[in-house]
Amino acid sequence: GQNIDQPTEMTATEGAIVQINCTYQTSGFNGLFWYQQHAGEAPTFLSYNVLDGLEEKGRFSSFLSRSKGYSYLLLKELQMKDSASYLCAVMDSNYQLIWGAGTKLIIKP
Amino acid sequence: GAVVSQHPSWVICKSGTSVKIECRSLDFQATTMFWYRQFPKQSLMLMATSNEGSKATYEQGVEKDKFLINHASLTLSTLTVTSAHPEDSSFYICSARDEGQGVDGYTFGSGTRLTVV
């Protein structure tokens, strides 16, 4: 079966760094997405990785290892507005997005 | 960037009535749109894939006669929840992809909070 695993909840301090991990097992792989979702709102696109390595985009970076079925989202210089759920999603061989349950990130002052 | 408009943002309806949710791609044409449902503290669950000019493809366990999908044009898909019941209360989200923008063009609507009383 297809499975996406990520931690349910994480807590971090404002100004610090946090890494949110995602492991996956899917039928085929056409890339991995990270989305941010604030409560009651639709997800917004953060990053896409299809090749191994690190993609950096401002305070956010995303890493992928296809051989390990593993990705992480790295958030630097945390701000209170970064409190949200972070969703990992894999595009399978049918170009469908398979979603993880999301990681709720709580930022404390 | 690609914009997807979804209406209404929230709706409260009586049990047994039907509710229609619209999803529009504002600045691009979408041959395919996706409808998701999200219960509190749970992941997005794909309900169906809406194909312009043809029948929608429903995921296993989703009743096609209860969740009617119409994709009559390249910019509009509608989801109608028929004979709604309290257990249908959820957050419904549509998405579409602007293929001209690559992966960044995979855009979500703002979602519809449905409450059935």
How do residues A49-80 score in pLDDT, each as one tens digit? 999 999 998 999 999 999 999 999 999 999 99
Token code pair at residue A8: 């349910």
Distance CA B31, CA B109 (A): 16
Nearest-CA distance B40 → chain A (Å): 9
The H-or-E segment that residue B52 falls in is none
Question: Do residue A101 and residue B43 have CB atoms under 8 angstroms apart?
Answer: yes
Q: Does A44 touch chain B (CB under 8 A)?
A: yes
In angstroms and rounded to an integer, the radius of gyration of the C-alpha atoms of chain B is: 14
Choose among A43, A109, A46: nearest CA to A73. A46
Q: Does B30 touch chain A (CB under 8 A)?
A: no
Q: Which residues of A touch B103 (CB under 8 A)?
A: 31, 33, 45, 48
Closest partner CB to B108 (pick from A43, A100, A102): A43
Distance CA A80, CA A106 (A): 8
End-to-end CA distance of chain B: 37
Residue B105 pLDDT class (50, 70, 90 cuts): low
Distance CA B84, CA B15 (A): 5
Residue B101, pLDDT above cutoff 70 = no
Mean residue pLDDT of chain B comes to 90
- Burial label, B63 (beta-carbon count in 10 A; 0-12, 13-18, 19+): exposed
Q: What is the mean pLDDT of residues B17-30?
A: 93
The label of the residue with tokens 């309900």 reads B47
Please report the pLDDT score of residue B27 as a whole number.
Answer: 86
Nearest-CA distance B61 → chain A (Å): 16
Question: Do residue B110 and residue A42 have CB atoms under 8 angstroms apart?
Answer: yes
Half-sphere exposure of B109 (CA within 13 A, CB side): 31
Residue B26, pLDDT above cutoff 80 = yes
Task: Identify the residue with better confidence: A25 or A45.
Answer: A25
A88-107 residues touching B, CB cutoff 8 A: 89, 96-97, 99-102
Q: What is the mean pLDDT of residues B22-49?
A: 89
Residue B54, pLDDT above cutoff 80 = yes
Residue B106, pLDDT above cutoff 90 = no
Number of residues that this document lists for chain A:
109
